[in-house]
Structure 1
Amino acid sequence: DAQYKPFVTSDPEIRCITLDGSEDFLIIASDGLWDFVDEHTAAGLVYQKICDDT
């Protein structure tokens, strides 16, 4: 995939947060998701999946 090298960076965007134990889940994703889905929509989809599976 050398043809894509000029368009791909190996420098990740990192965000550090403190977890307090009240979290229900953690979404880890690439910009491939975040370019199209905002955090509230992603969380809603996860909550819906959790509820559907119970």
Structure 2
Amino acid sequence: MHQFRKSGYSANESACVEVADLPGASAVRDTMNRSSGHLEFPSGAWAAFLRALKDDR
């Protein structure tokens, strides 16, 4: 079972995402719809996505 935590990018919003660290990957799911499963991304792709978010601020 993955250990999910609320994303720091979600702040105090009720509509947010949760992330989990996996070996060589990250998993993301919708906090409000956990039963729908999650998406997994390779670590490099997830890191590039987070960099893009920071650059877009």
Q: Same fold (TM over 0.5)?
A: no
Task: Give the shorter-chain TM-score range.
Answer: 0.3 to 0.5
- Structure with greater helix percent: 1
Between structure 1 and structure 2, the one with the greater Rg is 1
What TM-score does the superposition give when structure 2 sets the normalisation length?
0.36
Q: TM-score, normalised by structure 1?
A: 0.38
Q: Which has the higher strand share?
A: 2
